[in-house]
Structure 1
Amino acid sequence: MANDDIEEHATNGRILREGHAAARIGIERSRRGWSTTSLSDRLNHNGYRINPSAVWRIENGKRRIHLDEAIGFADLFGIPLAELISPPALTSQAAELIERVARAERTVHQAQEAHQQANNDLAAYLADHSPIREEAGAGTTR
């Protein structure tokens, strides 16, 4: 590969990663329901100086993102820097799959609680009605 090819590839790769970061920042901000001002305030509170207009310009590809800003965004969103610059469609799909798993786990947990409550209710009922318990017990020994 010639030096010109390497330089062109590096430039294209950098531009792609910056575009991924810009899109991911917008996705993460929207997911949290934050405005550009709210995001800017949070970054400033964490020591990363950036104004709301700069956040908007980054998200819309009108301004390049500096390394320290990218670190600040990744830190604030709780994601690795490498994930911030990854294609956002992949991370969005992963987020959707994680949410599906979380919903399914909540459903399973609710079903387990309902099952346990039904067992407790049955046990309490049978304890209060010993003739039924004896009949039920007699029926299972046949």
Structure 2
Amino acid sequence: MLQTAVGRYERKEVALVDEDSPQGVLLSGEENVAVRIKLEREARGWSTNTLSDRLNEAGFDMNPSAVWRIENRKRRINLDEAIGFAEVFGLDLRNLVGPPQLAAKARAMELIDNVVDTFRETQRANAAHTRARDALDAYLAEHPDIREEAEVMVSHAIAEEATKHLTETYGPPPGERIDADQREPGSEA
């Protein structure tokens, strides 16, 4: 029964790959690579022989038949070969394995990578904040006589930073008074 379910899943996954629309979003990295290799090769006007020659020149042993079999999903691609294709095409490996529809738009991939990278930075910053807060809480548990004053100080400092960030990002709140020295030249009071 398990094998039947797995077989159905594999057929379903393959069915998601529309042969008439090779730029559609795919679910498997290896499928993505196969489609992307063919797209990149054809976009450059290269034959499988030319691509094979370029791979060999770059130090990645590959014959034209292997290129064709990879593109047509008759042969699996290993990591070293994927690195070779990425190098020959001048692509980041992450871009090569991404969904072809997005990967073909290099700027979209850069922006996606930026969103993911900044999310990771946020996660690291949140973890660092939690560690710092835990250390302060542990210290204040040992020194309850200063807890209230320390909590007020932390709250004020965080509120000040939040206000500063919001003002830098969105400008002053509506109706906030602008001092005379902050007005633009030529504007009336």
* TM-score scaled by length of structure 1: 0.55
Partner of residue 17, structure 2: none
- Residue equivalent to 1:75: 87
Partner of residue 140, structure 1: none
The one-letter amino acid of 1:39's match is L
CA distance in 2, matches of 1:31, 1:91: 13
Distance, in Å, in 2 between the alignment partners of 1:83 and 1:34 is 20
Give the match for residue 50 of structure 1.
62
- Which position in structure 2 is the counterpart of 1:20? 32
Output one character per residue of 1:39-78: Cα deviation in whole Å (capped at 9) or x when no partner: 0000001100000000000000000001110000001111
Aligned residues: 84
Amino acid at match of 2:100: P
Residue 180 of structure 2 corresponds to: none
Q: Aligned equivalents of 1:53 and 1:68: distance in 2? A: 17
2:154 maps to what in 1? none
Q: Please give the alpha-carbon distance, in whole angstroms, between the structure 2 residues aligned to 1:37 and 1:96.
A: 30
Higher normalized helix content (fraction of residues): 1
Does 2:38 correspond to 1:31? no
Cα distance in 2 for residues equivalent to 1:58 and 1:25: 8
What TM-score do you get using the length of structure 2 for normalisation? 0.42
**Where do 4+ consecutive residues of structure 1 move more than 6 Å?**
none
Q: What is the alpha-carbon root mean square deviation over aligned residues?
A: 2.1
Identify unmatched segments of 5+ residues in structure 2: 1-8, 14-26, 109-189
Higher relative contact order (CA 8 A, sep 6+): 1
Aligned amino acid, residue 57 of structure 2:
H
Cα distance in 1, alignment partners of residues 73 and 28 from structure 2: 11
**Identity value in percent:** 57
